[in-house]
A and B are shown apart, each in its own frame.
Chain A
């Protein structure tokens, strides 16, 4: 992550919002001044050391710092962890994601974990213990004067906010099981002594170790250099792997799914309570914290499902969601680390990428309530080139220029549901790949008999397809799209090539931004430029079929916005303006970078507007902070004041929603 000025401001504002002014000030100084020790910070911020110590402790507790302590040094040097600070903006999304995929109790646990920063498991358990006891006490009290309560409830439905507060987590065993599940999903990882070394420091240490151990005489020659790189990568991976120690320990006892199965085998039906007891108790000494990297993987899956919903139908997107979930179960991060993972790839080339998922696996994980027949069109058999549709691409596509992917964007609409159009297009350039035939599928995969039958039977008779066939249709649909949602990497095996897919998604995002700022015509012009490369100013009107004046105005408008640019190529030495060429072009990468920067600024502005609003409504907000008013605003405040207050709350919601939306864009552009 490139820490630019808007990012610095954004991080400081976010920390200010969540943790207060003191940590925010220190964080901003750390970002702008770089690595600093306590005395240096005191110099920069002109705060007392005591204030600084408190602020640093808070930041450190919330995982927002790296620090490094040289042996024998008096002061540690601190460094800001801008990535974690930025991720604060995503907390709402992360919690929502956990809520929907792990349930409300897990969300509650995660929220408390986020709230308290890195936490020892025993402390967390104790805190929950206390809360559960409180809830039980409250419940007992409720029971005693239950008559009053029931009377009130009879009229009132449910007017007990206190009731729902407690029992998200029912017992410490329940808590334990939740933590286990989150650890297995890698959403929580373990804090180890090297966690808070900055990446640069870790690299330095590992480099030194490797040099001392393997190359005491220095590195000579290319071969040794390669080996050095590999050793360093190995060392770094080892350090990184330490945070997964808890997960490994859990896996030794068999994963949660396995345990559940085992239990199901033993006692027939299972229920939640039994489940909890089966989970091994965690080492109470361990310190855990949230793993943002994995959270981002989950968020990316959701974004891709959203993308698939836009392109196809809900059902197809659902299938895609299941596939992604299976595929990314062991994917630790969205983007591989340049130092660590590239060397890994060279070592074990076959393990590259996220692996694959078979059709059966997807089928097993689909909910039976989902009707797979929705969202697939029916085409006559003669329209379908089954060989092209079933084509297997064993290797990921080579790097194509981005232009080609975006160029055909327009036709990626719902009419692709009729298989004829894409398959016709596919067969053009895929005819030489005919090797994997039907019997290949049969041979490898015993159960696929039904699927092969489809090609013969689903013809004019319009027979109802069975479930696996329907699933297969959805997958083929995904595989055939121009965005390459899925790659059919072997008979009944599916995988996703994330980098090209994310590029496609980025293009789509960029296109929608262009369309919003310069209209359909602007978007059309940009697409023409992407397809044709650089175009002379004089040639452009002919290609675009637009009037010259209109076109020039539009192009200038887009140039100001940064979507296109012009290059001047003189024809002779004098560089006469009349004679030189003016070439319009669009540089996608540059535009994306610029877009990213603008997004940061937008987010900063949103939060600043909020601050301004707070100043404006200061008197109202101060009133609402009073303990006798809090929670009873409507009764205690005058009407006019109350209206101002609720208007402010509405604005606040909208502003944060806007920030969240812009963050969606940022994550697509930067993190996914």
Chain B
């Protein structure tokens, strides 16, 4: 016999017999309470979440702090640029986390449409005028491109002429295209608006509040003079797209485009309704539809 039997004296645990035999004999003889009659058993179940020493990352060094803020500012600027598409069509609440194959993956997108809009928040209210309409396509027409480095099939798109309904409703753009520089210069945690760059936010809120009040005072004074925009660096959102004042409408048109299924449609219901723009009473600019020709 090989040395595998080990403790052969007590019924040969790994021996020839069926395993249940072995286990029973172990249970009879060698469990703690038969050997030690005074033992107090701790019958409690083990803790579900035993204390665990969570490793914590070291606090950021000054350099890292700077790197992260530069990245975040960059991201802010990117998201403010005409090339950014804000719209998300990916529904978070999809049932399965796993996808098999491209088809299922594709189905995850396109979930947020007009059909899935939340009826409780979709009713137009006053505060909607402060919400930006998410763009579903980048606003390529507003800025210049070095077209020789794009494949020819994209050239029309770069001009902003890539409209589904063909050249008939083509929008004429006025003025030269300019490359706008972002006005966002800081990643705004709320403190930063009131503090100078580089200054650490104070720990107590009192000083902050003071500053805020002062700022509001100056703001009011300035408001009388009428150059609020220059004073508050952020806030105005159309510095990217200079010479075309059709910002809002653009976004809207593009949003509509997303929900169109087919390219050439002779009955375009959305265009029918959007044509007369009467329902745009909360639209800030008060466009008169003069951009359509």
A residues bordering B, Cβ < 8 Å? 17-23, 25, 29, 32-33, 38, 44-46, 48, 50-51, 53-58, 60-62, 67, 69, 74-76, 91-93, 95-96, 99, 107, 111-112, 114-120, 123-124, 126-128, 130-131, 138, 141-142, 145, 148, 152, 155-162, 164-165, 191, 193, 195-196, 287, 516, 578, 615, 625-635, 642, 645-646, 649, 652-654, 656-658, 660-661
Q: Which chain B residues border A195 with CB–CB below 8 Å?
A: 149
Please pick, from A45, A148, A627, the residue contacting B130 in the complex, using a CB distance under 8 A: A627
| Number of interface residues, chain B, beta carbon within 8 A | 97
Q: Which chain A residues border B212 with CB–CB below 8 Å?
A: 634-635
Q: Report how far A402 CA is from B84 CA in the complex, Å.
A: 47
Q: How far is the CB of B148 from chain A (nearest CB, A)?
A: 7
Q: Tell whether, in the assembled complex, residue A632 and residue B193 are in contact, meaning their CB atoms are under 8 Å apart.
A: yes
User: Nearest A residue to B216 by beta-carbon distance?
Assistant: A635
Q: Tell whether, in the assembled complex, residue A111 and residue B149 are in contact, meaning their CB atoms are under 8 Å apart.
A: no
Q: Which chain A residues border B266 with CB–CB below 8 Å?
A: none
Q: Which chain A residues border B102 with CB–CB below 8 Å?
A: 29, 32-33, 44-45
Q: How far is the CB of A412 from chain B (nearest CB, A)?
A: 22
- Do A625 and B149 contact each other (CB < 8 Å), given the known contacts A156-B218, A159-B214? no
Please pick, from A53, A62, A99, A626, the residue contacting B131 in the complex, using a CB distance under 8 A: A626
Q: Report how far A646 CA is from B86 CA in the complex, Å.
A: 22
Q: Which chain A residues border B230 with CB–CB below 8 Å?
A: 138, 141-142, 162
Q: Which chain A residues border B149 with CB–CB below 8 Å?
A: 60, 118, 191, 193, 195-196, 287
- Do A155 and B193 contact each other (CB < 8 Å), given the known contacts A20-B85, A127-B180, A660-B71? no
> Which of B21-29, B41-49, B73-81 has 4 or more CB atoms under 8 Å from chain A?
B73-81
Please pick, from A155, A191, A628, the residue contacting B214 in the complex, using a CB distance under 8 A: A155
Q: Report how far A631 CA is from B186 CA in the complex, Å.
A: 10
Q: Which chain B residues border A93 with CB–CB below 8 Å?
A: 67
Q: Mark B151-184, 1 if CB is under 8 A from A, else 0.
A: 1111001100010100000000000001111110
> Which of B12-20, B231-239, B273-281 has 4 or more CB atoms under 8 Å from chain A?
B231-239
Q: Tell whether, in the assembled complex, residue B154 and residue A53 are in contact, meaning their CB atoms are under 8 Å apart.
A: yes
Q: Tell whether, in the assembled complex, residue A57 and residue B218 are in contact, meaning their CB atoms are under 8 Å apart.
A: no
Q: How far is the CB of A627 from chain B (nearest CB, A)?
A: 5
Q: Tell whether, in the assembled complex, residue B190 and residue A642 are in contact, meaning their CB atoms are under 8 Å apart.
A: yes
Q: A20-B138, A60-B151, A69-B151 are in contact. List 11 more A-B contacts (CB 8 A).
A: A19-B84, A20-B84, A22-B87, A29-B102, A53-B154, A76-B153, A115-B182, A124-B179, A127-B178, A625-B132, A653-B68
Q: Tell whether, in the assembled complex, residue A50 and residue B164 are in contact, meaning their CB atoms are under 8 Å apart.
A: yes
List, sorted by A's number, 17 A–B pairs whose CB atoms are closer than 8 Å: A20-B87, A22-B136, A38-B153, A50-B162, A53-B154, A56-B154, A76-B151, A111-B70, A115-B74, A119-B179, A145-B222, A159-B218, A195-B149, A627-B131, A635-B212, A654-B60, A657-B67
Please pick, from A48, A141, A165, A630, the residue contacting B185 in the complex, using a CB distance under 8 A: A165
Q: Report how far A60 CA is from B149 CA in the complex, Å.
A: 9
Q: Tell whether, in the assembled complex, residue B83 and residue A61 are in contact, meaning their CB atoms are under 8 Å apart.
A: yes
- Interface flag for B114 (CB, 8 Å): no
Q: Report how far A29 CA is from B108 CA in the complex, Å.
A: 14
Please pick, from A48, A164, A633, the residue contacting B190 in the complex, using a CB distance under 8 A: A633
Q: Report how far A71 CA is from B102 CA in the complex, Å.
A: 31
Q: Which chain B residues border A626 with CB–CB below 8 Å?
A: 127, 130-131
User: Nearest A residue to B3 by beta-carbon distance?
Assistant: A578
Q: Report how far A219 CA is from B257 CA in the complex, Å.
A: 56
Q: Tell whether, in the assembled complex, residue B109 and residue A145 are in contact, meaning their CB atoms are under 8 Å apart.
A: no
Please pick, from A44, A138, A145, the residue contacting B225 in the complex, using a CB distance under 8 A: A145
Q: How far is the CB of B202 from chain A (nearest CB, A)?
A: 13
Q: How far is the CB of A174 from chain B (nearest CB, A)?
A: 15
Q: Which chain A residues border B75 with CB–CB below 8 Å?
A: 17-18
Q: Tell whether, in the assembled complex, residue A114 and residue B74 are in contact, meaning their CB atoms are under 8 Å apart.
A: yes
User: Nearest A residue to B108 by beta-carbon distance?
Assistant: A25
User: Nearest B residue to A48 by beta-carbon distance?
Assistant: B263
- Interface flag for B197 (CB, 8 Å): yes
Q: Report how far A156 CA is from B199 CA in the complex, Å.
A: 14
User: Nearest B residue to A54 by beta-carbon distance?
Assistant: B137
Q: Report how far A19 CA is from B140 CA in the complex, Å.
A: 13
Q: Tell whether, in the assembled complex, residue B218 and residue A54 are in contact, meaning their CB atoms are under 8 Å apart.
A: no
Q: Report how far A470 CA is from B102 CA in the complex, Å.
A: 64
Q: How far is the CB of B241 from chain A (nearest CB, A)?
A: 13
- Interface flag for B269 (CB, 8 Å): no
Q: Tell whether, in the assembled complex, residue B85 and residue A646 are in contact, meaning their CB atoms are under 8 Å apart.
A: no
Q: How far is the CB of B237 from chain A (nearest CB, A)?
A: 6
Most buried by B among A54, A107, A117, A155: A54
B residues bordering A, Cβ < 8 Å? 2-3, 55, 57, 60, 63-75, 77-79, 81, 83-90, 92, 102-103, 106, 109, 127, 130-132, 136-138, 140, 143-146, 148-154, 157-158, 162, 164, 178-183, 185-186, 188-191, 193-194, 196-197, 208, 211-212, 214-218, 221-222, 225, 227, 230-235, 237, 242, 257-258, 263
Q: Which chain A residues border B152 with CB–CB below 8 Å?
A: 69, 76
Q: Tell whether, in the assembled complex, residue B162 and residue A53 are in contact, meaning their CB atoms are under 8 Å apart.
A: yes
Could you tell me the dominant secondary structure of chain A's interface residues? Answer: helix
Q: How far is the CB of A625 from chain B (nearest CB, A)?
A: 7
Q: Tell whether, in the assembled complex, residue B181 and residue A92 are in contact, meaning their CB atoms are under 8 Å apart.
A: no
User: Nearest B residue to A56 by beta-carbon distance?
Assistant: B154
User: Nearest A residue to B58 by beta-carbon distance?
Assistant: A661
- Do A112 and B181 contact each other (CB < 8 Å), given the known contacts A50-B162, A51-B137, A161-B193? yes
Q: How far is the CB of A340 from chain B (nearest CB, A)?
A: 23
Q: Tell whether, in the assembled complex, residue A128 and residue B71 are in contact, meaning their CB atoms are under 8 Å apart.
A: no
Q: Report how far A25 CA is from B212 CA in the complex, Å.
A: 42
Q: Which chain B residues border A76 with CB–CB below 8 Å?
A: 151-153
Please pick, from A25, A46, A53, A148, the residue contacting B221 in the complex, using a CB distance under 8 A: A148
User: Nearest B residue to A96 by beta-carbon distance?
Assistant: B67
Q: Which chain A residues border B92 with CB–CB below 8 Å?
A: 615
Q: Which chain B residues border A29 with CB–CB below 8 Å?
A: 102
Q: Tell whether, in the assembled complex, residue B189 and residue A646 are in contact, meaning their CB atoms are under 8 Å apart.
A: yes
Q: Report how far A96 CA is from B68 CA in the complex, Å.
A: 9
Q: Which chain B residues border A44 with CB–CB below 8 Å?
A: 102, 106
Q: How far is the CB of A613 from chain B (nearest CB, A)?
A: 12
Q: Report how far A645 CA is from B189 CA in the complex, Å.
A: 9
Q: How far is the CB of B96 from chain A (nearest CB, A)?
A: 16
User: Nearest A residue to B86 by beta-carbon distance?
Assistant: A20
Q: Report how far A25 CA is from B105 CA in the complex, Å.
A: 10
- Do A45 and B106 contact each other (CB < 8 Å), given the known contacts A50-B164, A162-B232? yes
Q: Report how far A148 CA is from B3 CA in the complex, Å.
A: 97
Q: Report how far A32 CA is from B102 CA in the complex, Å.
A: 10
Q: Report how far A60 CA is from B257 CA in the complex, Å.
A: 23
Q: Report how far A60 CA is from B155 CA in the complex, Å.
A: 12
Q: Tell whether, in the assembled complex, residue B179 and residue A126 are in contact, meaning their CB atoms are under 8 Å apart.
A: yes
User: Nearest A residue to B88 by beta-carbon distance?
Assistant: A21
Q: Tell whether, in the assembled complex, residue A660 and residue B68 are in contact, meaning their CB atoms are under 8 Å apart.
A: yes
Please pick, from A74, A96, A123, A126, the residue contacting B66 in the complex, using a CB distance under 8 A: A96
Q: Which chain A residues border B263 with CB–CB below 8 Å?
A: 48, 50
Q: Which chain B residues border A99 with CB–CB below 8 Å?
A: 66, 70
Q: Report how far A148 CA is from B146 CA in the complex, Å.
A: 45
Q: How far is the CB of A55 from chain B (nearest CB, A)?
A: 8
Q: Tell whether, in the assembled complex, residue A646 and residue B222 are in contact, meaning their CB atoms are under 8 Å apart.
A: no
Q: Report how far A91 CA is from B151 CA in the complex, Å.
A: 27
Q: Tell whether, in the assembled complex, residue A21 and residue B78 are in contact, meaning their CB atoms are under 8 Å apart.
A: no
Most buried by A among B65, B85, B221: B85
Q: Which chain A residues border B132 with CB–CB below 8 Å?
A: 625, 627
- Do A191 and B164 contact each other (CB < 8 Å), given the known contacts A96-B67, A634-B208? no
Q: Which chain A residues border B84 with CB–CB below 8 Å?
A: 18-20
Most buried by B among A17, A23, A627, A652: A627
User: Nearest A residue to B208 by beta-carbon distance?
Assistant: A634
Q: Which chain B residues border A95 with CB–CB below 8 Å?
A: 67, 70-71, 74
